């Protein structure tokens, strides 16, 4: 599938890149999102992929560290980032709702190998919840239709994972190219910097 999606679909769907956490397992001199992966900050890979999917807009929720973001993103700072990922997701949903979104596609700033094609494929689903799979394994991004937003947690460190477990009938899987491998540790970063291959 093309990395671009039908503009009539895209007009009502926003991307959300969650990038607020402390990254406490990453023991480098920099925050993991600002660390350099193959010449670019880790977070730039995720944000650029979301932007290339040609959605209505891309919301980036920041928190623990200041990020150098493209001018075209909608940057929102989560002052409550230490309370868990759910608070960041709720901020992103509120920003999307204020802009008239019918759905959002949510990814993580520390997953640099999620492609624009994956963002597009998941956005194209009409399921209430659509989750990307890579070789049969669920990952990100995840599409959340507006009907399920009230069911999502407001606190804690989970986004949609608990809801997907509780309401499997709402979930559709979308086979994607790329990988949801994340950069959690210095070892992860060294591994991918020493290889020109994607996971």
8 A C-beta contact, residue 99 and residue 92: no
Q: What percent of the chain has pLDDT over 90?
A: 78
pTM to 2 decimals?
A: 0.92
pLDDT value of residue 3: 42
Q: Are strands 36-37 and 74-77 parallel, antiparallel or unpaired?
A: unpaired
**Helices (H), ranges, 53-98:** 85-98
User: Does residue 169 surpass a pLDDT of 90?
Assistant: yes
Distance CA 105, CA 90 (A): 13
pLDDT value of residue 77: 98
8 A C-beta contact, residue 173 and residue 133: yes
Pick the CATH number of 11-193 from 3.30.930.10, 3.90.550.10, 3.30.1220.10, 1.20.120.550: 3.90.550.10
Residue 70: count of CB within 10 angstroms of its CB: 12
194 CB contacts (<8 Å, ≥6 apart)?
none
8 A C-beta contact, residue 105 and residue 140: no
């Amino acid at each position: 599938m093309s990395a671009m999606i039908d503009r009539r679909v895209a007009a009502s769907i926003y991307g959300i890149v969650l990038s607020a956490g402390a990254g406490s397992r990453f023991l480098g001199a920099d925050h993991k999102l600002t660390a350099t992966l193959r010449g670019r900050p880790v977070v730039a890979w995720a944000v650029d992929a979301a932007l290339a999917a040609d959605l209505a807009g891309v919301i980036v929720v920041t928190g623990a560290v200041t990020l150098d973001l493209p001018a075209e993103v909608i940057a929102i700072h989560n002052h409550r980032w230490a309370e868990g990922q759910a608070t960041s997701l709720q901020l992103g949903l509120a920003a999307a709702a204020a802009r008239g979104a019918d759905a959002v596609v949510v990814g993580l700033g520390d997953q640099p190998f999620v492609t624009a094609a994956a963002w597009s494929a998941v956005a194209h689903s009409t399921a209430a919840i659509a989750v990307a799979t890579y070789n049969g394994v669920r990952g990100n991004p995840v599409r959340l239709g507006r009907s399920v937003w009230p069911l999502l947690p407001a606190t804690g460190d989970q986004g949609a994972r608990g809801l997907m477990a509780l309401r499997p009938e709402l979930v559709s899987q979308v086979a994607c190219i790329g990988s949801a491998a994340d950069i959690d540790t210095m070892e992860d970063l060294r591994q991918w910097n020493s290889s020109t291959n994607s996971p």
